[in-house]
Amino acid sequence: MRFSLVSLLRRTCIALSAATLAGCATTNVVSDHRADEPPVSTGAVTSERPAARRPAVAPRPGTPGVKPGKAEPIAFPEPTEVVEGVADSIKPIDLTIPPDDLWERIRKGFGMADLDHPLVAEHQAWYLNRPDYFRRMTERGRRYMFHIVEEIEKRGLPTELALLPMVESAYNPEALSVAKASGLWQFIPSTGKLYGLEQNAQRDDRRDIVASTAAALEYLQKIYEMHGDWHLALASYNWGEGAVGRAVMRNQAAGMPTDYASLNMPAETRHYVPKLQALKNIIAQPELFGIELDAVENKPYFTLVAEAPAMDLATAARLADVPVAEIKALNPQHKRPVIRAGEGGAQLVLPSHAVDTFMANLNSNDADAPAPAGTSWRTYTLGPKETLATVIRRFGVTEWRLRRFNGLPPTARIGPGSTLLVPDENSPLAFDGVGSAEEVPRLGVDKPKYKRVKRNGRWVNVPVAAPAPTKATKPASAPKKAIKPAAPNRKASVPARKSAAKPAAAKGGIPAPQKK
């Protein structure tokens, strides 16, 4: 029994010794030798526990060409004294200052969503293939764009609307469509009257730059608030808000989209917004399309002179020292070559740079003074108890000629305070040969007459040809007694309501002789 216990203990000790030797054989013993030298074995086996393994530390990279511990410290450069001048000072950028170029101001105000439509590329190509037309259009627009952009920004509207007159009238304030739409914004007569644009024989405020712009922006803002979409608002401006509203309801009933591109519209309205988008693309990146836009100064081009007296356009041009064509371009609402006084004086629009010259010359001249040499008309304001007969007796002009010059119908009565344009009796009505073509005033053009005719089951308008002259319509010469330059015929001083009953059956501006 004792022998077996001793034998068991001996076996246990042998097993423990074998296990200890196996662990020492598989464990690295950490020594103090360098990492690049092989370890040195002592040949002795130890029973001590091996030390923990530590991560090897990489040697520090040395400076190339310099031995460790031999590098000199790098000298820091001495500070340099800098003297700042006024021109070298850094100025803060004020983003609220408007740019010098009006085109850049328009670009910054773009606010409409872009229209992705195949017709946009088609109209882009149309404008790009006509550079002369594009240049003339933008050249005309430089007179009016600043005022339009100012009014747009006052109302918080997108500045794409400043490009809308390019689509409507090519920035021609005297443009007239087949539907009788007139002016930069192409108001039809009924819509113009609805927004307070006066239309009579003397003036047409649809062509007034200031009045028509205010009316157009008011109308556009109204229809935008109605639809909540600028594309539909522009379609309403062209087609009518009622027509666009019905087209939207038809698409809603059919379960179709109600955006601009999905509506069933006339061809003109379908092309309307793509034209504006094409112009927007060209103005936004002209260099991309090879277009060079002439800079437009971002400052007022014209000024409204409300205190100006009644006068003709030629006199206004002479006092302002500008061409008559410039006065006409800024005052296209006048159908006759005279600016009439109203409440607060006449509404005369002048170039901003010419206002001081105009006022200085006006204060040293009398508006009712005789017409200067080369001028074939003058203005006259009727005083208390004066009538049309007073003007006829004073200036020796026939009633027919005076009414024709002022665009007055035969039954119109003229009272005190009215301003008339009094022509020279010896000057032709058509102003043939009087001055240069630029100085010729623009009279109203007689509208052609039409009659309704049914052709192929449809009623159409056919122009009525003027009747051929006959012997009965030949102008008759007035009696010699009636032609007295010093004392005009007393028959011409008959009040308008009496002479209106006998219309002149003459041709060429000579009234028929009256029976005694």
DSSP conformational letter for 458: E
Q: What is the dihedral of CA 29, 33, 35, 38, to 10 degrees?
A: -80
Active-site position among 160, 168, 399, 439: 168
Gap between the Cα atoms of 478 and 512, Å rounded? 7
Residue 165: which of 222, 124, 206 has the closest Cα?
206
239 CB neighbour count, 10 Å cutoff: 18
Gap between the Cα atoms of 378 and 407, Å rounded? 15
Residue 169: which of 111, 214, 212 has the closest Cα?
212
Question: In the structure encoding, which two tokens stand for residue 445, read together?
Answer: 């053009």
DSSP assignment of 305-366: EEEEPSEEHHHHHHHHTS-HHHHHHH-TTBSSSEE-EETTEEEEEEEGGGHHHHHHHHHTS-
Q: How do strand 450-455 and strand 458-463 relate by DSSP bridges?
A: antiparallel
Question: CA 494 → CA 53, 489, 500, distances in Å?
Answer: 132, 10, 10
Residue 204: which of 240, 180, 220 has the closest Cα?
180
Is 439 known to be catalytic?
no
Instruction: Say how far residue 287 (Cα) sits from the centre of its chain.
Output: 20
Q: Annotated catalytic sites, by residue?
A: 168
